Amino acid sequence: MTHEHPIPTVHIYGQKELAVTPDLLHCEPLIIRSREHKFEIKPHRHHGLSQIFYLKRGHGEANIDGDPTTVKAPCLIVISEMSIHDFIWSDDVEGSVLSIANPLLESIEKSLNQEQPVIKATLIMTVRREQHQLESILDLLHFEYSHAPADSRALVLSSLMQLLAIWLERNAPDKINTASQQNRTAEYFNQFMALINRDFIEHRKIESYASELGITAPYLNLLCQQLVEKSALQLVHERVILEAKRNLIYTVQNISEIAYGLGFTDPAYFTRFFRRLTEQSPKQFRVKQNTQTD
């Protein structure tokens, strides 16, 4: 399938990706953005996250990487990072949308001790069995996401996502479409993002990442610019900032401890780095977050 205009790469649909947020999971009812966009979601893709759609009621047309499919409730759709997708939903659509950031997906992959788990694939499946268990997991995710206190929220959400991943492993069809079926440019990009998630604390040079991928640093920068309009170094820095924000929100470590834990040898340099990318110091960010949750 060809497109006359570049496919937008966004964070959550309808929001141009301006910054990485400390939340590794976003939950919302399917109807919210469907109604906002008059039940027609234009072609787009996401970097840094995968999505899960649960269609509890209604029907629609799903077009994923140029493969149009009619979907009817109850149905589960998993969309891997950088897969181009668009939807047309019926006006009675009901269900859930989960957007799962790569660091959480990598954690789930390790906990399952399995390469390429179903939760990182692309698939459309009719929910023929264990529907009650699936909806119970999703209900708990929505409740914890919306109402849980900050001190336990991340841990509970991570545990529930592991449970959802196990449900998928048990119930998904044997034949699924994986991210390896995407074009080569997207494959390189996905591999690069996986390397960043693995090694961001080591502060590797872009040339080192490119060499491991078997490509040149200029080409790596070019494909990053083509897909997400950011340089390779910007993506590495965003991953460091993401971890810094999470530590500032969810731990009681002081700024120096966080800096050393993120591979910085000088806490003062870490503070300057954080301020340059976020326009506030780590202390200011922590105070602001604590004020918002009080």
DSSP-assigned letter for residue 54: E
Considering the domain architecture, whether residues 156 and 213 belong to the same structural domain is answered as no
- Domain co-membership, 171 together with 206: no
Q: Of 191, 169, 192, nearest to 180 (Cα)?
A: 191
Domain with residue 206: its CATH number is 1.10.10.60
pLDDT in tens, 125-179: 999 889 999 999 999 999 999 887 777 788 899 999 999 999 999 998 765 544 4
pLDDT of 82 higher than 70: yes
Q: Are residues 13 and 52 in the same domain?
A: yes
pLDDT, residue 54, reads 97
The answer to whether residues 259 and 286 belong to one domain is yes
Specify if 2 maps to a domain.
no
67-72 β-sheet, strand order? 9-10, 40-46, 85-89, 59-64, 67-72
Please tell me the total count of domains within the chain. Answer: 2
Neighbour-count burial for 210-247, b at 16+ CB within 10 Å, e otherwise: beebebebeebbebbeebbebebeebbbbbbbbbbbbb
- Count CB atoms within 10 A of the CB of residue 70: 10
Give start and end residues of each alpha helix (H) in 53-183.
102-112, 131-147, 150-171
Q: How many CB atoms lie under 10 A from the CB of residue 183? A: 11
Other CB atoms within 10 A of residue 109 CB: 17
Q: Is the pLDDT of residue 292 over 70?
A: no
Residue 3 in any domain: the answer is no
78 and 148 assigned to the same domain: yes
Determine, yes or no, domain membership for 40: yes
- Asked if 13 and 148 sit in the same domain, the reply is yes
Q: What mean pLDDT do residues 200-228 have? A: 92
Query: Torsions phi, psi of 145, nearest 5?
Result: -65, -40
Instruction: Return d(Cα 115, Cα 96) in angstroms, integer.
Output: 26
Report if residue 228 sits inside a domain: yes
pLDDT of residue 68: 87
**In this structure, is residue 143 part of a structural domain?**
yes
Predicted TM-score of the model (pTM): 0.68
Helix (H) or strand (E) holding 63: strand 59-64
Specify the pLDDT at position 11: 53
Six token digits for residue 33: 């953005």
Which pLDDT value is given to residue 1? 39
pLDDT digits (tens, 9 = 90+) for 247-264: 898 888 999 999 999 999
- Asked if residue 188 and residue 157 are part of one domain, the reply reads no
End-of-domain residue from the set 135, 160, 178 = 178
What's the pLDDT band for 22 if we cut at 50, 70, 90?
A: low
Report pLDDT for 180.
Answer: 40
User: 147 and 113, same structural domain?
Assistant: yes
What token pair was written down for 172?
A: 């998904």
Q: Does a structural domain hold residue 262?
A: yes
Res. 246 pLDDT band, cuts 50 70 90 = confident
Per-residue pLDDT at 17 exceeds 60:
no
CATH number, domain with residue 84 = 2.60.120.280
User: Do 158 and 227 share a structural domain?
Assistant: no
What is the arithmetic mean of pLDDT over 55-67? 90
Question: What residue numbers bound the domain in which 283 lies?
Answer: 183-293
Task: Please indicate whether residue 252 or residue 53 has the higher confidence score (pLDDT).
Answer: 53
Task: Tell me, yes or no, whether 50 and 142 share the same domain.
Answer: yes
Please report the pLDDT score of residue 174 as a whole number. 67
Residues 216 and 79 both lie in one domain = no
| In a shared domain, residues 31 and 71 | yes
Mean per-residue pLDDT for 236-256?
91
Whether 41 is covered by a domain: the verdict is yes
pLDDT bracket for residue 239 (50, 70, 90): very high
**147, 178, 209: which is the final residue of a domain?**
178
- Examine residue 1 and state whether it is found in any structural domain, yes or no: no
* Among 105, 125, 122, CA closest to 65: 122
φ/ψ bin of 28: left (φ > 0), alpha (ψ from -120 to 50), beta (otherwise):
beta
Residue at a domain's end among 148, 178, 208: 178
- Give 206's contacts (C-beta < 8 A, 6+ positions apart): 217, 220, 221, 232, 233, 236
Separation CA 108–CA 150 (nearest Å): 21
